[in-house]
Structure 1
Amino acid sequence: MMKISAVSEASVLVVFSDMVSPDTADMIAQSVAMIEQESDLFVIDMVPSYTSILITYDLTRIELRSFMSRLNLCLQKSNECGQLSSSSVVIELPVYYGKEVSLDAEEISRHTGLSFDEIVSIHSSQEYRVYAIGFAPGFAYLGNTDPRIHIPRKSTPRLSVPAGSLAIAEQQTAIYPKSSPGGWQVIGRTPINLIDFNRENLTVFEMGAKVIFKPISREEYIAMGGEISEALLEEGAHNV
């Protein structure tokens, strides 16, 4: 059901589906890669999301009708390529699920009726897909979490969520790449810096990639550069 429509004189929206799914993520990632290869499209920027891509092009070098025609041909070519190359990309991230950093362990257990050990086992045994990247550089929306651990966002967001915090909300999970306000339920923390200024998109994540979380011990977490502040120890103590 792919549809291309103009949203301004210098931008178009390509909608691939009305459903969020791994197949849709594959189509979007493949299309982004194909569009990046087409120099005669004169693309300035692309913003991929769950089911669409917002594309801005250079209006001084190509007019709307020509752009949409060339873009359509490019996307048809992308569709004919079949399976997505980036779908084979697997990103494995170490996560410490310890009480000092799993700030919402008690709330998640109370909501789900599961022990926190069960929650960690369920969360870390799932393979996730990058459905969108946004909110902040490096913040990737990953799905889908197991229905057994679905939980709403916090009614009152935290003013500051520590960088590297792994959290869940509804059917999604994500890592806060830097300290920022946030309302997701914090389940653990990774010592890995997700911001990479050597990459074009500034993050280790890419659309359509698969993500796996590997539980690590407190000692491994600290050895890999992870930090546990006194503030986290105090808040974590109230949540166990």
Structure 2
Amino acid sequence: MAFNLQASIEIAGVDAVMIVFDAKVDKQINQQVHLLREAIIQAQPVWLSDVVAAYHTLMVVYDIQRTTFEHVQHWLKAQLIELQQRQVTPKVAGIHEYFVCYEPEFALDIERVCHCTGLSAEEVSQRHSAETYHVYTIGFAPGFAYLGDVPNALQVARLDTPRTKVPAGSVAIANQQTAIYPRTSPGGWNIIGRVAGWTDRSGLKLQAGDQVRFTSVSKQRFLEIEANSQSNHIEERHDD
């Protein structure tokens, strides 16, 4: 893919700079963020402390005992130019598939979503599970992956008042993004289903740049997968 040089380098702290691409949620921009991150990590300059990717930004943390902002800025500009001058191929994305039950007892906000979109509950599940989603970034909580893009017809704003408790494995949407709550926690996204067989470790498998697919299953199938998952989890604990 062709690399876009339209990025600015800004001071983000006494020991950090921020590389800022176009300020929007866009898959191609996000891929460029991660390509630059990979290039920086592979180069491994002696002053590098950390590289943190988000939607359209990349924060580079450096050791102020080893370098200066001016040097880091110059080095990063050179990296941007080098990436622009050659065709770069994104790494092969990991693909994760999840079985989701969209039945009302798991889809806590389905009535609201149907009201806002004019879609039926069946249409919501069909449209949501028809897409392959890109993992833009990991944040909010360990394993919380921000996925996109939700079809335009299915986009709904966040809840006005967040819930104090969202069950782990809940599948939710907010505007053009969707996500799986990795653990039971507060949350303000619209809950439209729940992943079968979800465990605390499940979310940790997701990495930025990966792909996610959802398959709709019945409540009966959901319970069967849950039972098998619980049995396997018990066996794993005994093995440990």
8 Å contact from structure 1 (residues 25, 130) kept in 2: no
Give the Cα–Cα distance (whole angstroms) in 1 for the partners of residues 135 and 102 of structure 2: 21
More displaced, 97-106 or 72-81?
A: 72-81
Deviations 1:192-215 (A, max 9, x none): 33646xxxxx82222222221122
Relative contact order, CA 8 A, sep 6+: which one is greater?
Answer: 1
Q: Which residue of 2 aligns with 1:192?
A: 198
Give the Cα–Cα distance (whole angstroms) in 2 for the partners of residues 217 and 76 of structure 1: 51
8 Å contact from structure 1 (residues 160, 179) kept in 2: yes
8 Å contact from structure 1 (residues 41, 70) kept in 2: no
Change (3 A) 1:61 1:182: same
Deviations 1:41-87 (A, max 9, x none): 5322222111111121121222222222223333434443422114x
- Count residues with an aligned counterpart: 221
Q: Which residue of 2 aligns with 1:237?
A: none
8 Å contact from structure 1 (residues 109, 115) kept in 2: yes
Give the Cα–Cα distance (whole angstroms) in 2 for the partners of residues 20 and 124 of structure 1: 21
More displaced, 40-49 or 154-163?
A: 40-49
Structure 1 residue corresponding to 2:68, chosen from 39, 63, 68: 63
2:198 partner amino acid = I
RMSD: 2.1
Which 5+ residue runs of structure 1 have no aligned equivalent? 197-201, 228-240
How many percent of aligned residue pairs carry the same amino acid? 33
1:204 partner amino acid = K
Q: Which residue of 1 aligns with 2:145?
A: 140
Give the Cα–Cα distance (whole angstroms) in 2 for the partners of residues 89 and 120 of structure 1: 23
TM-score, normalising length: structure 1: 0.83
Give the Cα–Cα distance (whole angstroms) in 2 for the partners of residues 174 and 149 of structure 1: 14
Q: Which residue of 1 aligns with 2:110?
A: 105
1:150 partner amino acid = Q
Change (3 A) 1:64 1:154: same
Deviations 1:76-132 (A, max 9, x none): 34443422114x432222212222211111221122221101110000001221222
Give the Cα–Cα distance (whole angstroms) in 1 for the partners of residues 119 and 45 of structure 2: 54
Change (3 A) 1:151 1:54: same
8 Å contact from structure 1 (residues 47, 54) kept in 2: yes
Q: Which residue of 1 aligns with 2:226?
A: 225
2:213 partner amino acid = I
Q: Which residue of 1 aligns with 2:212?
A: 211
SS of residue in 2 equivalent to 1:54:
strand
Matched, 1:131 2:132: no
Give the Cα–Cα distance (whole angstroms) in 1 for the partners of residues 48 and 181 of structure 2: 29
Displaced runs of 4+ in structure 1, greater than 4 A? none
8 Å contact from structure 2 (residues 168, 198) kept in 1: no
Which 5+ residue runs of structure 2 have no aligned equivalent? 1-5, 229-240
Give the Cα–Cα distance (whole angstroms) in 2 for the partners of residues 222 and 29 of structure 1: 37
2:91 partner amino acid = S
Give the Cα–Cα distance (whole angstroms) in 2 for the partners of residues 219 and 76 of structure 1: 55
Give the Cα–Cα distance (whole angstroms) in 1 for the partners of residues 38 and 18 of structure 2: 16
Give the Cα–Cα distance (whole angstroms) in 1 for the partners of residues 88 and 108 of structure 2: 43
Structure 1 residue corresponding to 2:48, chosen from 28, 43, 48: 43
Give the Cα–Cα distance (whole angstroms) in 1 for the partners of residues 52 and 222 of structure 2: 33
1:212 partner amino acid = R
